[in-house]
């Protein structure tokens, strides 16, 4: 399959680029941050995303969605990355929609319809340790009457403070690091025993710490099969990882573009600093790294649409490369801007902060390098 966008995907990219650049540029992030907005995201903007078909981009058409694939979701994520836009697109349109679509069932269908209309925000409550360790689940769901009692704590829950519904991974059998014995539950964040603490991250985006203290959950809140949720979790995470890699492509390329423009504009010794060969070499190297990463990410997205089971290694390569190349891009950007690059007076430092958060989200470069090694049998 050619590593280029189709005509339809290019048109989608142009639509997303126009909307995000016009309605949610970097200045939008600054305003939410400086105003200390209680949500940290614009629900009005999310409605516009829904009207454009972005909220339900992965949802089936019979549930009001666009019925598109991961490549298209990645296209939107890249534009979000270019503009550092705080948006529930990842948590709801990618992670949430994947969970509901893969789990199936009548309730999932109803929720997908609300999600596609922009009337439902979801958040995946998975991680419990400082570093991404998806298999480690201490949160327990014990049988109680016709349902479960949920006890435990989650951290780094993206958009967890604004979610209308939480997708929670809980252990219903086995030990804390066992692959089997995991169940996914839909939990109302307003239910008795749920406490949520918003954590504004270094990049001014949003996450939450969530505690569950003997929360009663009905049996119909189960997503997928009881004790057999690990494959569903892996599918949700791979969709998220590939889309975060797309966001990192956007972050890296925008940082690169702004830096090249600065090299052409900034003058020292009566000529543009971009004329110095040392900086030209560094910019050329960075361009090549970003193009290789773009190809790797697009291949991973294509594989997720073609055969999700075979896509795991491709997703790991994409996320690992995206972490490394985005990190290189923002470091070079700050260095080539000089001292002003470290200040809040210019936007380039914001790209470094966002890149750092995205690197940790769903596994950093080392996590995925190790994952590739395991997939290859090492």
- Hey, is 247 helix, strand or coil? helix
State the CB neighbour count (10 A cutoff) for residue 34.
Answer: 9
Residue 8: count of CB within 10 angstroms of its CB: 10
pLDDT computed for residue 88 by the predictor: 96
User: Domains of the chain by range and CATH?
Assistant: 7-120 (1.10.540.10), 124-228 (2.40.110.10), 231-375 (1.20.140.10)
Give the number of residues written for the chain: 378
Residue segments in the chain with a per-residue pLDDT below the cut of 50: none
Instruction: Give the count of alpha carbons within 13 A of 216, CB side only.
Output: 4
List the Cα angle 74/84/14 in 5-degree steps.
Answer: 50
Residue whose C-alpha is closest to residue 215's, from 153, 258, 268, 161: 153
Whether residue 242 contacts residue 319, with contact meaning beta carbons closer than 8 Å, is answered with: yes
Residue 167, φ and ψ in degrees, nearest 5: -100, 105
pTM for the whole structure: 0.94
Q: Would you state the pLDDT for residue 145?
A: 86
What does the angle CA 156 – CA 124 – CA 221 come to, to the nearest 5 degrees?
140
So what's the pLDDT on residue 136? 94
Residue 28's pLDDT is: 96
Q: Which pLDDT score is estimated for 339?
A: 81
pLDDT at 268: 78
Distance CA 164, CA 40 (A): 15
Residues paired with 246 in a beta bridge: none
Chain CA centroid to CA 89, Å: 8
Q: Distance from CA of residue 77 to its chain's centroid?
A: 8
- The span from the CA of 64 to the CA of 243, in Å, is 22
Distance between CA atoms of residues 69 and 73, nearest Å: 7
Question: Residue 374: what pLDDT?
Answer: 92
Question: What's the confidence (pLDDT) of residue 198?
Answer: 95
């Amino acid at each position: 399959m050619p590593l280029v966008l189709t005509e339809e995907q290019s048109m989608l990219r142009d639509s997303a680029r126009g909307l995000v650049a016009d309605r949610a540029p970097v200045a939008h992030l600054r305003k939410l941050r400086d105003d200390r907005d209680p949500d940290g995201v614009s629900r009005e903007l999310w409605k516009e995303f829904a009207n454009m078909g972005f909220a339900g981009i992965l949802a089936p058409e019979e549930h009001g969605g666009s019925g598109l694939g991961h490549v298209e979701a990645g296209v939107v994520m890249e534009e979000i990355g270019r503009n550092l836009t705080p948006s529930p697109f990842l948590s709801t349109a990618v992670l949430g929609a994947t969970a509901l679509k893969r789990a199936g069932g009548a309730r999932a269908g109803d929720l997908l319809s609300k999600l596609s209309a922009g009337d439902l925000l979801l958040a995946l409550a998975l991680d419990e340790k400082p570093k991404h360790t998806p298999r480690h689940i201490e949160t327990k769901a014990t049988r109680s009457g016709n349902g479960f009692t949920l006890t435990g704590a989650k951290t780094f829950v993206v958009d967890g403070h604004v979610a209308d519904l939480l997708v929670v991974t809980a252990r219903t059998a086995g030990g804390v690091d066992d692959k089997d014995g995991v169940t996914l539950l839909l939990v109302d964040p307003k239910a008795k025993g749920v406490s949520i603490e918003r954590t504004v991250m270094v990049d001014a985006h949003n996450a939450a710490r969530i505690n569950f203290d003997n929360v009663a959950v009905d049996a119909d809140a189960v997503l997928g099969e009881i004790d057999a949720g690990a494959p569903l979790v892996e599918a949700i995470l791979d969709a998220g990882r590939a889309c975060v890699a797309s966001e990192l492509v956007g972050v890296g390329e925008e940082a690169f573009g702004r830096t090249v423009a600065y090299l052409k504009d900034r003058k020292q010794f009566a000529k543009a600093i971009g004329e110095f060969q040392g900086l030209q070499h560094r910019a050329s190297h960075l361009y090549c790294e970003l193009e290789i990463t773009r190809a790797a990410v697009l291949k991973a997205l294509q594989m997720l649409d073609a055969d999700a089971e075979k896509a795991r290694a491709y997703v790991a390569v994409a996320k690992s490369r995206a972490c490394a190349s985005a990190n290189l891009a923002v470091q070079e950007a700050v260095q080539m801007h000089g001292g002003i690059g470290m200040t809040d007076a210019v936007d380039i430092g914001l790209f470094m902060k966002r890149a750092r958060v995205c690197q940790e989200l769903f596994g950093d470069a080392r996590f995925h390098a190790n994952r590739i090694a395991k997939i290859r049998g090492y």
